[in-house]
Amino acid sequence: MRLLLPLIAAIPVFLAACGGGDETEVPLTGASASPTAVASMTAEEHSAVEAFLKAAALQAEDLPSGLTLADEKFTTNEDEAEQENILPGAPTAEDLSRWGRILGYQASYSPEAPSTATGATVFFQLETNVYQDSKGADKHFEAIRQQPSDPGFINAFQEEAKAAGGDVRDASISPMAFAKVGDDRMAFEMRIRAHYTDPDRELNLVTQDVGIRRGRAIGFITVVTLDSPSPVQELEDLTRMLDERLKDALE
């Protein structure tokens, strides 16, 4: 579940800072999502899938001002399974292959000038994924939707935060009311209050995670802020823009 992973990544970074055409259709419609088949793509086919995923994502100029690209990468099924294996109910690489996931793209952004002001953005992440068909995309989407209801979800975060030197004092996760966007959608908000000893600081973090499915593609927007959440209208506007990018890329 992306809601947890960016939050874990954001905390140490914040603490440190403050102290196309036919060529695209070939791999998207015909390639198997198994690791062997993805690895056997030609260089042109692989490049076409990567170009599709980036075209379907929001770009830096679409985002709120003051954010700069910190990292971007493409994720295979093995990558996706490995980075989520700390979470209960996380799909395996075999699950992702069975659901027809071909490849994913992640772009992470950090504030140019970290701030401790209420509502300041600590971390911003975008993600796009493409599948063989909408049925497989829907199965993965539903699996992600179910993760926060697992009693072990918050416990997994507490263990990871503890390993990073933090003591979680309070944690909660709840669904967000969200506008109808895409063929399917989910939206969650997670609030964490944790104390860190290096440096000595208590953080109140709010993570908003919105996922949409459009046909056989899935997109996520994750925002981590201090003390209070980002305006829902701003998040809805960005999600609608992401949905349009997914729709255009699939046509």
| pLDDT, tens digit, 9 for 90 and up, residues 3-13 | 556 666 666 66
Q: What is the mean pLDDT of residues 152-159?
A: 78
- Per-residue model confidence as pLDDT tens digits over 201-218: 888 889 999 999 999 999
Q: Which of 137, 103, 110 has its CA nearest to residue 124?
A: 110
What are the chain's domains? 4-250 (3.40.1000.70)
Residue 224 has, within 13 A of its CA and on its CB side, a CA count of 30
- Per-residue model confidence as pLDDT tens digits over 89-112: 889 999 999 999 999 999 999 999
- The pTM assigned to this predicted structure is 0.86
pLDDT-derived band at 18 (thresholds 50, 70, 90) equals low
- Per-residue model confidence as pLDDT tens digits over 110-148: 999 888 899 999 999 999 999 999 999 999 999 999 888
DSSP state letters, the chain: -TTHHHHHHHHHHHHHHH---HHHHHHHHH---SHHHHHTS-HHHHHHHHHHHHHHS--GGGSPTTEEEEEEEEE-HHHHHHHHTTSTTPPPHHHHHHTTEEEEEEEEEEESS---STT-EEEEEEEEEEESSHHHHHHHHHHHHHGGGSTHHHHHHHHHHHHTTEEEEEEEEEE------SSEEEEEEEEEEEEEETTEEEEEEEEEEEEEEETTEEEEEEEEEESSPPPHHHHHHHHHHHHHHHHHHH-
Question: pLDDT value at position 180?
Answer: 94
